[in-house]
Amino acid sequence: MNVCLATMLLLCIFAITGCSGDHKATELLETAGFEEKQRNVEHAVKLYEIIIKEYPNSKAASEARTRLDDLSNKTRKYQP
């Protein structure tokens, strides 16, 4: 019985830890989007890179990769 309780406790801790990481990644993604809208692209790119590095398997990381690709494509269009 104690093993089962300990296992459940560990699973709860991992679930809580994972959720807080996803929440932080989402907050960073929102901030990066705001920075992008304010035309502070350099800071937005840094935030997207942080999300991908620190939360690679999150939904926010997937969106950050998409945004970086979009920004990269826009930059290439405007270069001579």
Q: Does residue 13 sit within a domain?
A: no
pLDDT digits (tens, 9 = 90+) for 17-57: 555 578 999 999 999 999 999 999 999 999 999 999 999 99
Q: Does residue 58 sit within a domain?
A: yes
DSSP state of 55: S
Q: Does residue 7 sit within a domain?
A: no
Q: Does residue 50 sit within a domain?
A: yes
Q: Which domain holds residue 38?
A: 22-78
Q: What is the pTM of this model?
A: 0.70
Separation of alpha carbons 68 and 41, rounded Å: 10
The encoded tokens of residue 35 equal 């920075």
* Residue 74: per-residue pLDDT: 79
The amino acid present at 68, given as its one-letter code, is: L
**Domain count for the chain:** 1
